[in-house]
């Protein structure tokens, strides 16, 4: 289980002589249970990606603690193989000189499998993300955006993590491909039973895949609601977000 307790984060404001700091996250506390999909929504600049980086242990909070299964996520060993990530910019998340097979081999090495086991694990992963075996030898530039994102998802799943942090993972894909990848994420979660932190500015995508949704505004949690109750959400800000889409 992921547990976030009174987390604060600020950054130095731009400008050489500036001593001011911008408070990006204020007193953030929440939990995400095993197998749960928690959405984090909010407008641009509300601190979603910053929170995502803290959950992944890429950056440390100024104050407060983040633990996963009782261990702090900023300890590399605590999160290794247990927490993985899928980002929006999939072209940057994958090495252009690696074939799909090489890209998948990397995380599989963490699992300590034999060479033969790794090969069958690659076949299985490709199958699970809906790519046939001819993709093994392909390079990223030979794939469509949706296909590269499937490879990134396969990579994230390869270590059999307990939690995946997805930051705008479907946002740059167009409509029908977006839906296909959302469906893929749903079915993988059923298969593996892992938790998702699903960061997005798209309330519709969040409603499609999440169990609960956290509304983040100017670095503070405005509300956390179950998806079924999204229509009755209290905060004026969330209402405005909802009015922009017809659920
Ligand atoms: N490394 C950094 N140094 C300084 N300021 C930063 C840094 N990272 C983020 N910020 C600032 O923190 C604020 C929140 O940024 P963040 O990327 O977390 O927002 P976001 O909710 O993910 O937005 P978007 O929807 O556009 O992705 C912004 O004002 C941003 O400029
Ligand atoms: Mg962001």
Pocket lining: 44 vs ligand 1, CB cutoff 6 Å = yes
Report the mean per-residue pLDDT for the chain: 90
Q: Give the global pTM.
A: 0.92
Backbone angles phi and psi of 76, in degrees to 5: -55, -40
Structure tokens at 56: 């992944």
Q: Once rounded to an integer, what is the mean pLDDT over residues 95-124?
A: 91
Cite the beta strand spans of the chain per DSSP E.
2-12, 21-32, 37-41, 63-68, 71-72, 83-87, 163-167, 195-200, 212-217, 220-226
The three-state (H, E, C) secondary structure of 141-187, written as one string: HHCCHHHHHHHHHHHHHHCCCCEEEEECCCCCCCHHHHHHHHHHHHH
Computed on alpha carbons and rounded to an integer, the radius of gyration of the chain in Å comes to 18
Pocket lining: 219 vs ligand 1, CB cutoff 6 Å = no
Pocket lining: 47 vs ligand 1, CB cutoff 6 Å = yes
Pocket lining: 93 vs ligand 1, CB cutoff 6 Å = no
CA distances from 191 to 129, 160, 163, 164 (A): 12, 11, 13, 14
Q: How far is the CA of 122 from the centre of ligand 1 (A)?
A: 35
Q: Which of 11, 13, 18, 172 to mutate to test the pocket of ligand 1 (most atoms within 8 A of CB)?
A: 11
Q: Which residue's CA is minimally distant from atom 17 of ligand 1?
A: 49
Picking from 216, 183, 153, the residue whose alpha carbon sits closest to that of residue 24 is 216
pLDDT (tens digit, 9 = 90+) per residue, 147-200? 998 999 999 999 999 999 999 999 888 888 889 889 999 999 999 999 999 999
Backbone angles phi and psi of 131, in degrees to 5: -115, 135
* 186 vs 180: CA distance, rounded Å: 10
- The environment of the single-atom ion ligand 2, i.e. residues with CB closer than 5 A, is 49
Q: How far is the CA of 48 from the centre of ligand 2 (A)?
A: 6
* 190 vs 194: CA distance, rounded Å: 8
Pocket lining: 42 vs ligand 1, CB cutoff 6 Å = yes
Altogether, the residues listed in the chain come to a count of: 247
- Is pLDDT above 80 for 83? yes
Place of tokens 């167009």: 174
Q: pLDDT confidence of 245, banded at 50, 70, 90?
A: low
Cβ contacts of 163 within 8 Å, gap of 6 or more: 2, 32, 68, 82, 83, 84, 194, 195, 196, 197
């Amino acid at each position: 289980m992921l547990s976030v307790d009174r987390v604060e984060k600020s950054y130095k404001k731009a400008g050489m002589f500036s001593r001011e700091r911008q408070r990006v996250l204020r007193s953030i506390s929440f939990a995400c249970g095993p197998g749960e999909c928690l959405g984090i929504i909010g407008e641009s600049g509300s601190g979603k990606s910053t929170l995502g980086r803290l959950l992944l242990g890429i950056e440390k909070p100024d104050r407060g603690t983040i633990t996963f299964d009782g261990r702090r996520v900023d300890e590399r060993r605590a999160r290794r193989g247990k927490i993985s990530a899928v980002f929006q910019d999939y072209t940057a998340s994958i090495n252009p000189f690696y074939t799909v097979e090489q890209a998948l081999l990397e995380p599989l090495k963490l699992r300590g499998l034999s060479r033969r086991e790794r090969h069958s694990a690659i076949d299985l992963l490709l199958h699970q993300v809906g790519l046939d075996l001819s993709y093994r030898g392909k390079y990223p530039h030979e794939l469509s955006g949706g296909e590269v994102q499937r490879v990134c998802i396969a990579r994230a799943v390869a270590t059999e993590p307990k939690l995946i942090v997805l930051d705008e993972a479907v946002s740059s894909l167009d409509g029908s491909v977006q839906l296909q990848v959302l469906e893929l994420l749903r079915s993988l979660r059923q298969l593996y039973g892992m938790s998702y932190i699903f960061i997005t500015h798209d309330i519709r995508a969040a409603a499609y895949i999440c169990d609960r949704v956290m509304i983040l505004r100017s670095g503070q949690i405005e509300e956390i609601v179950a998806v079924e109750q999204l229509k009755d959400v209290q905060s004026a800000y969330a209402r405005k977000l909802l009015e922009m889409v017809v659920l």
